[in-house]
Amino acid sequence: MPSVGIVSTFPPTACGLATFAAALAQGLETVGVSDIGVVRCDSEGTSTSDHRVVGSITNGDHESIAEAAAVLNTFDCVVLQHEYGIFGGHDGDDVLRLLDRIDVPVITTLHTIPLQPSSHQRKVLEGVTARSDRSVTMTMAARERLLSHYSVHPHGVTTIPHGATLPPPVAPPSPRNPTVLTWGLLGPGKGIEWVIDALAAVSDVVPPIRYVIAGRTHPKVAARDGEAYRESLMERARRHGVADRVIFDETYRSVPELLELVCSSHAVVLPYDSSDQITSGVLVDAVAAGVPVISTMFPHSVELLRSGAGVLVPHKDPTAIADALRMVITRPNVAAAMRSVAAELAPLHSWPSVAKRYTELALDLTQSSPVSIGRSA
């Protein structure tokens, strides 16, 4: 097995990218990759005792970029997670300095592909793909967007799905206490207010539906606005007379504990305002857990839920969300059908399955010629 260097944010940093990278590292170990090193993109100056962390990049510190590249060149292959906000420079263009110094094959996972990028965002993303031996998109919608809106060679792009931790088989939750769940870091744009509005519209459902909102406020949102968004949601719930059925849960949970929470829910709601999201880890986790999903229509949800694992609703539409809640909660046959479809999809998204795809790609690149299709000579 090739040795793999990973470039990403990484725990204890609290963000989806860090969670993704940690799960991918664990998956690589599961499929037999014994030599894994992580270079953390760390803008917060946090420390970690994780033995896999072999270096760090500090935003704006070009010396740390050179040091990181030297460490990464000791591995057979590098897997870089790309998101504009995790690297220093304008639109994170310091990532190009890093890639210019890496001599071994590079696989870059693209987490954001703007539909309407600025000219500089386009330059950065095209620069990243040109300096990568393979670029990975996690959905076909993302691949199509990349190839139709950016100057990228199609043979340099591979699609590997977002991974998920599969829970052990569990029975569906009891209908005596119907609960729907939204989880993740809170902030404007999450669309939680529309679910609170919808909850008021299904007050006639018996037993009454509870809505659990699990997660703390996003650190950057908290630094800028404090708890204004959460407080506005609490006030909205009071105004609608559903405050007793809206539960805010800021508890930190390990992966097994989060899976237990997800599996105890009758549905997961993704009410996001954005119509541009090409990848959602929460969506994949919910489907992999076999829980019916109610989601607004963004590229990843449309692609994954058209299989029948959930129901799609328009953005900012409490009436549609209420209709979906009523259907999933009061019609057990509908929920059971969604769970059945999700169970068929889940194995494709298990982290070992996803990590195996990355390993096969790394093997292919390390055994091929020094300059691959994706990277400019």
Residue-level pLDDT at 377: 47
- Per residue, what are the HEC states of the chain? CCCEEEEECCCCCCCHHHHHHHHHHHHHHHCCCCCEEEEEECCCCCCCCCCCEEEEECCCCHHHHHHHHHHHCCCCEEEEEECHHHCCCHHHCHHHHHHHCCCCCEEEEECCCCCCCCHHHHHHHHHHHHCCCEEEECCHHHHHHHHHHCCCCHHHEEECCCCECCCCCCCCCCCCCCEEEEECCECCCCCHHHHHHHHHHCCCCCCCCEEEEECCECHHHHHHHCCHHHHHHHHHHHHHCCHHHEEEECCCCCHHHHHHHHHCCCEEEECCCCCCCCCCHHHHHHHHCCCCEEEECCHHHHHHHCCCCEEEECCCCHHHHHHHHHHHHHCHHHHHHHHHHHHHHHHHHEHHHHHHHHHHHHHHHHCCCCCCCCCCC
Residue-level pLDDT at 169: 83
Q: Which CATH number fits domain 4-163+351-366: 3.40.50.620, 3.40.50.720, 3.40.50.2000, 3.30.70.140?
A: 3.40.50.2000
> Domain residues of the chain, as ranges?
4-163+351-366, 179-349
Residue-level pLDDT at 44: 66
Instruction: Tell me the whole-structure pTM to 2 decimals.
Output: 0.88
pLDDT by residue, tens only, the chain of 377 residues: 999 999 999 998 878 899 999 999 999 999 999 999 999 998 666 778 889 999 999 988 899 999 999 999 999 999 999 999 999 999 999 999 999 999 999 999 999 999 999 999 999 999 999 999 999 999 999 999 999 999 999 999 999 999 999 998 888 888 889 999 999 999 999 999 999 999 999 999 999 999 999 999 988 899 999 999 999 999 999 999 999 999 999 988 888 899 999 999 999 999 999 998 899 999 999 999 999 999 999 999 999 999 999 999 999 999 999 999 999 999 999 999 999 999 999 999 999 999 999 999 999 999 975 545 556 54
Residue-level pLDDT at 16: 85
The CATH code for residues 179-349 is 3.40.50.2000
Residue-level pLDDT at 372: 52
**Does the fold of domain 179-349 match that of domain 4-163+351-366?**
yes
Residue-level pLDDT at 45: 64
